[in-house]
């Protein structure tokens, strides 16, 4: 069967939409699926999300089922602009407003007091809701056309790397969601920065492309910044206690790739390497290498690299460690989770 360009039905009943920003009929259908309680996978500038009407508890429940997500892990609510935030939150404190004005639409999520209309299932019964305004044109188009706040976690099955390409989103959610919107490759490739603001302290619950330095610049003194630790005994962001971002292969962090690949432990294994350009060893034919010219490219390509190295059956992935600065902080956060903190070359 040949696939129609838009609104085509895949084998499993999941509809595929392309170019929704240019195809009014496809956009209308996608918005109607959200309005009628269905699930739509949509692209954002960070990763693909699995969206449902945030005001419909039944629809949100379907997200948890489709992902196999624990019910105590709350969802981010996406809105189309600052003027829509009170559809999910009960108030917008000044510091949060300043940060949204500086970085939205974009990869910043702020935890705010929850609006009473929002069903408890969205926030896993927490009194706060995480809110974000995505910048991908297809995400904004869907939010505006549906006229609703959209609850959306990353569109992976629980515990797996977030999809950052249409192909990955299809692999994860074909047959589980009602529709998938093709928006190409995600520009940033790592999930949004999640923060909470308590008095004059900004706490970074999950590092992302909006960095601590960028936040400090906007708020200035007297604000201080702190980072939640992944192994906090009582995590402020419930998602932090779950294993995330893990491919099938065993991931090991690595400072010196040259010596690590010569390690006898790896002699009989099929090895994948993820590294900055020219840092991978030149051993022809035995290694599968994913190289990135810049740290931003590393962030953008990390989950796709995990996905592709899994597809070719790598047993071990050696991932080059980076300085925990700028986007490097977010990359290391995801690599530490994917590896469970295991290093190939550090005691
Ligand atoms: O870039 C992103 O943020 C993507 C795209 C789709 O927007 N979404 C995403 O959602 O990464 P998810 O569900 O995979 O991760 C959301 C994180 C989780 O760690 C969750 O625990 C935390 O945000 N979170 C959500 N609501 C929260 C709340 N009310 N308080 C504290 N943390 C919260
Ligand atoms: Mg996720």
The residue whose CA has the least distance to atom 6 of ligand 1 is 49
CA 102 remoteness from chain centre: 21
Q: Which has more confidence, 71 or 347?
A: 71
Q: pLDDT tier at 235 (50, 70, 90 boundaries)? A: low
Q: Is the dihedral of CA 254, 256, 261, 265 positive or negative?
A: negative
Atom of ligand 1 nearest to the CA of 134: 7
The residue whose CA has the least distance to atom 31 of ligand 1 is 237
The CA distances from residue 213 to 21, 109, 299, in Å, are 34, 16, 18
Mutate to test the pocket of ligand 1, among 135, 198, 239, 240 (most ligand atoms within 8 A of CB): 239
Q: pLDDT tier at 1 (50, 70, 90 boundaries)? A: very low
Which H or E run contains 97? helix 94-103
Q: Which residue do the tokens 């999300």 mark? A: 49
Q: Is the CB of 206 under 6 A from ligand 1?
A: yes
Question: In this predicted model, what pLDDT tens digit does every residue of 139-192 receive, in sequence order?
Answer: 999 999 999 999 999 999 998 899 999 999 999 999 999 999 999 999 999 999
CA 129 remoteness from chain centre: 17
Task: Tell me, in angstroms, the distance from the centre of ligand 1 to residue 153's CA.
Answer: 6
Residue 81 contacts residue 180 (beta carbons within 8 Å): no
Residue 40 contacts residue 51 (beta carbons within 8 Å): yes
Residue 320 contacts residue 295 (beta carbons within 8 Å): no
- State residue 170 phi and psi, 5-degree precision: -65, -45
Q: Is the CB of 235 under 6 A from ligand 1?
A: no
Q: Is the CB of 75 under 6 A from ligand 1?
A: yes
Mutate to test the pocket of ligand 1, among 194, 236, 333 (most ligand atoms within 8 A of CB): 194
Q: Is the CB of 156 under 6 A from ligand 1?
A: no
pLDDT value at position 6?
42
Q: Is the CB of 332 under 6 A from ligand 1?
A: no
The CA distances from residue 23 to 28, 36, 170, 178, 290, in Å, are 9, 20, 20, 18, 35
Q: Is the CB of 192 under 6 A from ligand 1?
A: yes
Question: In this predicted model, what pLDDT tens digit does every residue of 41-83 receive, in sequence order?
Answer: 999 999 999 999 999 999 999 999 999 998 999 999 999 999 9
């Amino acid at each position: 069967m040949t696939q129609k360009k838009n609104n085509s039905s895949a084998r499993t009943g999941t509809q595929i939409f392309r170019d929704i920003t240019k195809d009014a009929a496809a956009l209308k259908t996608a918005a109607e699926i959200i309005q009628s309680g269905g699930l739509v996978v949509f692209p954002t500038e960070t990763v693909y999300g699995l969206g449902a009407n945030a005001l419909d508890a039944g629809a949100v429940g379907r997200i948890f089922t489709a992902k196999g997500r624990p019910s105590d892990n709350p969802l981010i609510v996406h809105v189309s602009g600052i003027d829509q935030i009170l559809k999910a939150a009960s108030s917008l404190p000044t510091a949060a407003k300043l940060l949204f004005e500086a970085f939205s639409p974009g990869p910043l999520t702020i935890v705010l007091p929850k609006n009473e209309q929002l069903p408890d299932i969205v926030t896993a019964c927490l009194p706060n809701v995480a809110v974000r305004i995505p910048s991908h044109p297809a995400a904004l188009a869907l939010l505006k056309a549906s006229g609703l706040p959209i609850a959306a976690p990353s569109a992976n099955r629980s515990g797996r790397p977030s999809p950052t390409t249409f192909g990955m989103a299809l692999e994860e959610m074909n047959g589980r969601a009602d529709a998938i919107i093709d928006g190409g490759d995600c520009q940033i490739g790592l999930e949004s920065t999640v923060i909470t603001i308590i008095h004059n302290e900004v706490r970074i619950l999950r590092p992302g492309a909006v960095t601590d330095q960028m936040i400090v610049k906007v708020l200035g003194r007297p604000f201080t910044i702190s980072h939640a630790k992944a192994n906090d005994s009582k995590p402020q962001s419930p998602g932090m206690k779950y294993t995330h971002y893990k491919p099938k292969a065993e991931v090991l962090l690595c400072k010196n790739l040259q010596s690590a690949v010569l390690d006898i432990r790896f002699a009989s294994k099929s090895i994948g390497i993820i590294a900055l350009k020219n840092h991978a060893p030149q051993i022809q034919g035995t290694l599968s290498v994913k190289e990135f010219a810049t740290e931003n490219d590393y962030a953008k390509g990390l989950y796709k690299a995990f996905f592709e190295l899994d597809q070719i059956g790598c047993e071990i992935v050696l991932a080059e460690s980076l300085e925990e600065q700028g986007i490097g902080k977010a990359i290391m956060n995801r690599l530490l989770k994917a590896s469970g903190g295991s290093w190939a070359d550090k005691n």
